Amino acid sequence: MLSKSVEQALNNQIRIEAESSQIYLSMACWAEIQGLEGVARFMYAQSDEERVHMLKLIKFVNERGGHAHITELNAPKTTFNTFQQLFSELYKHELFVSQSINELVHITLSEKDYATHNFLQWYVAEQIEEEAQAKTILDKINLIGDDKGGLYLFDRDIQQITVTSQILPGAN
């Protein structure tokens, strides 16, 4: 059984994951209209992955005697000055999500909720991957600078980055 404070913190994380999905969806739309097909595909896949993260949390809350809440979301930014800015914001967002997950883990430890703590270890590991991937992409973009040829190659090459698809909740 979840304590009210852990349930509330998990519901907050559900909202963050939903907003993350929307942020990446908005980034995909912007990239697509800029002609950045590879970046758009990457962002669509990221959006899907974030939705899966949200669903895993929802299932966990409901299965542990809590009530997952679906709430209103903040509208994401819809335009970016450059693709560098887009990926810089992606990286900053991943750092924010990691901080949020870490706070959630801290709450579970202070509440001695070891079942939820154990469940959240998957998210901790996932965020390590997400941050590393975003940082690597940002580093490559900073190397490209304003070179149009480099941007073309980057857009093509980012399609090679496979977003790890996660097992859907209830499928295991």
Which residues define the annotated binding site for Fe cation? 17, 50, 53, 94, 127
* Cβ neighbours of residue 64 closer than 8 Å, sequence gap 6 or more: 1, 2, 115, 116
Measured distance CA(104)–CA(109) in Å, rounded:
9
Q: Which residues are annotated as a binding site?
A: 17, 50, 53, 94, 127
Radius of gyration of the chain (CA): 17
- Give the separation between CA 87 and CA 139, rounded to whole angstroms: 10
| C-beta of residue 104 within 8 angstroms of C-beta of residue 53 | no
